[in-house]
């Protein structure tokens, strides 16, 4: 059996639009729309300004565009554009999530495909194929060790994202099979992303998809110039899983059903700009809005508890910290009836902090992935009435019957224009990505 990296490379290099089923193409296009909306909204809010300013300062050959900037001000090298746009896509924590791998799928991949398409003069169909290859790879790498990287204090989006980004870049550049395999091997040596931000409220997590995207472009560039990487980067003794998780995997854990079973169709679109691990509870909490709630007990998956329910989470230190606080966010939903980007602008609201202090959590092993858990809240009102609010899983998932409407409505709010939404949805027919980039300038 050949190494998993080589098989992934061969699959991606040989992929043609006709090989991609219609539902997969539609899903990939939806995620492009969703991710671009998230990036433009972040640019408008200034949430990723340090990354944007850094990319501009590093500059390089002006061959690719940073999203949402004033006309003529956002062109930098493709590596720096991939970095800035990766951070922009993830900055509000509003971007999509693959529940099985607990990875943010689009943020490390789309920025690379966009930068390469612009730099190489490619059209929308080529960009979409690069996105399909990258998304599918990233989801499979994450799902091969569910919650494994997070349990070791590593951000799976960053660990797996750099490999997927390298594959995306290599495919769009037309590297050879050997070069593409080398690119994946090189990318593996850049895998990382510490979760220590959870203990301080720092915003380093915002940077992780940008690091992965830039690292992928760098890996493909190095491979194109002759640098080599281990083809056993996935299953090897000191490969991605062996070194970082202290356990090796079989290639089949990543490759099984490749090209037949599409993990990218299982990616969830976020309705709330907060950690996916509490979205089901937020959906349930909407049902308690208007009730005179005295206390709440939230049931939480074991893999989610340490991330969104740890001690002290009821009093977040920063706005970013609040996005990873189930007590605070659920309290805000019960009081306001909604959770939006504006929710996290002010985190010292007395009424939210008071209710958050009265929200307890109970760890329940639902089985399955933490990001696909049901949401169940047991509340007691001030009159002593007991209420139960529950949902089978969070909205925005692949089984959501209104997923098209959910994505379009969210994108319209983020992009501010139906014309921009329709332009992106017509991506496969674009002969060049330039009109798209121009339309998203200071959107």
Stretch 26-38: mean pLDDT: 97
Stretch 221-242: mean pLDDT: 98
Residue-level pLDDT at 113: 98
Residue-level pLDDT at 398: 82
Is the model's pLDDT at 442 over the cut of 90? no
Is the model's pLDDT at 168 over the cut of 70? yes
Q: Choose the most confident range, by mean pLDDT, from 162-171, 198-207, 297-306.
A: 162-171
Taken in order 163, 169, 170, 172, the sign of the CA dihedral is: positive
Domains of the chain and CATH, by start: 4-271+401-439 (1.10.4100.10), 276-391 (3.30.1330.120)
Q: Among 243-247, 336-340, 396-400, 410-414, which stretch is predicted with the lowest mean pLDDT?
A: 396-400
pLDDT band at 371; cut points 50, 70, 90: confident
Mean pLDDT of the chain: 96
pLDDT band at 443; cut points 50, 70, 90: low
Stretch 258-279: mean pLDDT: 96
How do residues 183-227 score in pLDDT, each as one tens digit? 999 999 999 999 999 999 999 999 999 999 999 999 999 999 999
Helix (H) / strand (E) element for 417: namely: none
Residue-level pLDDT at 430: 97
Is the model's pLDDT at 18 over the cut of 80? yes
Whether residue 379 contacts residue 291, with contact meaning beta carbons closer than 8 Å, is answered with yes
- pTM comes to 0.94
Query: How distant, in Å, are the alpha carbons of 132, 158, 327, 433 from that of 310?
Result: 36, 23, 10, 44
Please list the helix, strand and coil fractions of the chain in percent, rounded to the nearest 5, in that order. 55, 10, 35
Look at strands 97-98 and 267-268 and give their pairing. antiparallel
Q: How far apart are CA 439 and CA 88, in angstroms?
A: 17
Residue-level pLDDT at 164: 98
pLDDT band at 246; cut points 50, 70, 90: very high
Q: Copy the structure tokens of residue 419.
A: 């014309």
Taken in order 221, 222, 226, 231, the sign of the CA dihedral is: negative
Q: How far apart are CA 84 and CA 356, in angstroms?
A: 34
**What is the DSSP secondary-structure string of 17-69?**
GGGS-HHHHHHHHHHHHHHHHHHHHHHHHTTTHHHHHHHHHH--S--EE-TTP
How do residues 119-160 score in pLDDT, each as one tens digit? 999 999 999 999 999 999 999 999 999 999 999 999 999 999
Residue-level pLDDT at 1: 76
């Amino acid at each position: 059996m050949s190494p998993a990296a080589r098989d992934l490379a061969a699959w991606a290099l040989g992929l043609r639009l006709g090989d991609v089923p219609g539902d997969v193409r539609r899903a990939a296009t939806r995620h492009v729309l969703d991710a671009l909306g998230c990036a433009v909204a972040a640019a408008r809010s200034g949430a990723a300004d340090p990354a944007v300013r850094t990319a501009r300062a590093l500059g390089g050959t002006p061959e690719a565009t940073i999203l949402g900037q004033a006309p003529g001000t956002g062109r930098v090298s493709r590596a720096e554009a991939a970095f800035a746009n990766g951070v922009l896509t993830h900055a509000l924590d509003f971007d999509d999530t693959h529940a099985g791998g607990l990875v943010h799928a689009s943020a490390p991949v789309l920025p690379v495909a966009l930068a390469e398409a612009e730099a190489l003069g490619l059209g929308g169909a080529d960009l979409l194929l690069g996105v399909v290859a990258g998304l599918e790879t990233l989801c499979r790498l994450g799902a091969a060790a569910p919650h494994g990287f997070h349990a070791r204090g590593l951000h799976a989006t960053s660990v797996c994202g750099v490999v997927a980004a390298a594959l995306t870049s290599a495919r769009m550049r037309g590297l050879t099979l050997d070069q593409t395999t080398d690119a994946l091997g090189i990318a593996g040596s850049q895998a990382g992303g510490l979760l220590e931000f959870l203990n301080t409220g720092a915003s380093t997590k915002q940077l992780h998809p940008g690091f992965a995207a830039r690292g992928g472009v760098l890996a493909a560039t190095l491979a194109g110039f002759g640098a080599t990487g281990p083809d056993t980067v996935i299953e090897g003794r000191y490969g991605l899983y062996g070194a970082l998780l202290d356990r090796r995997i079989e290639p089949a854990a990543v490759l099984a059903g490749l090209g037949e079973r599409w993990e990218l169709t299982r990616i969830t679109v976020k309705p709330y700009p907060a950690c996916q691990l509490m979205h089901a509870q937020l959906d349930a909490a909407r049902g308690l809005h208007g009730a005179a709630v005295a206390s709440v007990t939230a049931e939480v998956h074991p893999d989610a508890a340490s991330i969104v329910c740890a001690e002290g989470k009821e009093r977040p230190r920063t706005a970013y910290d609040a996005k990873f606080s189930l007590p605070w966010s659920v309290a805000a939903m019960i009081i306001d009836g909604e959770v939006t980007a504006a929710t996290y602008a002010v985190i010292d609201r007395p009424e939210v902090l008071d209710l958050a202090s009265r929200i307890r959590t109970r760890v329940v092993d639902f089985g399955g992935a933490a990001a696909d858990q049901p949401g169940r809240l047991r509340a007691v009102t001030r009159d002593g009435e007991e209420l139960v609010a529950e949902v089978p899983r969070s909205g925005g998932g692949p089984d959501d019957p209104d997923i098209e409407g959910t994505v379009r409505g969210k994108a319209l709010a983020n992009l501010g224009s139906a014309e921009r939404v329709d332009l992106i949805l017509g991506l496969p027919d674009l002969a060049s990505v330039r009109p798209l980039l121009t339309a998203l300038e200071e959107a």
